[in-house]
Each structure stands twice: as structure tokens, then as C-alpha cells.
Amino acid sequence: MIHHLSVAARDPKGVAEFFAELIGGAVIDFPPNPGSYVAFAPDGHGTAVEVYPAGSLMHPNSEAGAIFSRRPAEPLGRSPTHFALSVDAEAAEVAAMAARRGWDCFTCDRGGQFHVVEVWVENAWLVEVLPPAFAAEYLSLANLVAGMADPSLALAQDQPQSRTLERV
């Protein structure tokens, strides 16, 4: 189980507020990296999304723990890094949350295996939101794969989505 993860944003507080709304949680300041916020879910698992200002960097600092620095914020570009987040909200609610912020949002079919609501946070990076029905589909696939003698066969029949391999 992943308890928390961190992301960078141009508007850390606004993005943290989005995640808090999405997970029915609360936002707090994150003093170790000034200008950062954490959205905590009231789920008993400590699920959280830390949102750092764009340009934040983490560095090892021995047993004292990681420290932060900041480089000049560059425009946030596209990234292969993303995550999926199960929520209690329905797809239409998620779309409305994204629309209020002017962010792109699409309901997508992942090769007939499961569905996700793609939310393009700040129109720069992806979070795959799984409303309850979509989470059930995803978990069904994940549990099937985990129980297979040869898990590499689980998606062998899948083909790339149209434009998946497009160069930009």
C-alpha cells in the first residue's frame, strides 16, 4: 500500500485543495518545504498527497532525513509519471471538480480491462481517478494478474490505443 506520494504544482494550495475535495479530506501546511501542502484522506490508512511548489527538489541528508531545495520553477511539462487514486465520488462529480478548475478530464476505457477518469492536473500531468465501479474493475484485473502462473500473459491480447505511440 502506498500511504502518500508527492507531486509538483504551479499552485500547490489549489492542487492540494482539489485532492482534499476528491478524497473527502483536509489540507494542511507542510512546513519542511515552505509553500507546500498535504491533502489527507480520512480513510484510516494515512492516504495523502503532498503538493510541492514547482521547482522543489529533494536531497538525501543521512539519518536526519531528506532536505528540500528549490530551483527556478520551469513550466510543468508532460510526464510519464502518474498515479491512480480510488475515491468515493462518481465520475460525473470528478469531472465537475476538474471543470471548475479548467482542467482537462476524460472517462477512458483501458483496453476493455477497466475504466478511469483521467484528470489532467493543471493541464500538465495525469491522475487516474477510480470511482467505486472503476476501482472494482481495476482490482479485479490486479487480483487476476497477481494470481496467474504467468502474469505477463494478462495483457498479451491488448493492443495500443489509437495514437498511444504517437511521437510529439
Q: Is 163 left (phi over 0), alpha (psi -120 to 50) or beta?
A: left
Q: Are 145 and 34 in contact (CB under 8 A)?
A: no
Sign of CA dihedral 112, 80, 5, 150: positive
Cα distance between residue 82 and residue 121, in whole Å: 10
- Name the least confident of 17-31, 89-103, 104-118, 142-156: 142-156
Concatenate the DSSP letters of all residues of 99-148 into one string.
Answer: HHTT--EEEEEETTTEEEEEEEETTTEEEEEE-HHHHHHHHHHHHHHHH-
Q: What length does the chain have?
A: 168
pLDDT at 95 over 80: yes
Domain ranges of the chain: 1-76, 78-154
- Name the least confident of 16-25, 103-112, 127-136: 103-112
**Residue for cell digits 474493475?**
137
pLDDT at 143 over 50: yes
3-state secondary structure of 151: helix
Radius of gyration over every alpha carbon of the chain, rounded to an integer in angstroms: 17
pTM: 0.86
The pLDDT tens digits of the residues spanning 24-74 come to 999 999 999 999 999 999 999 999 999 999 999 999 999 999 999 998 877
pLDDT at 163 over 70: no
pLDDT of the residue at 100: 97
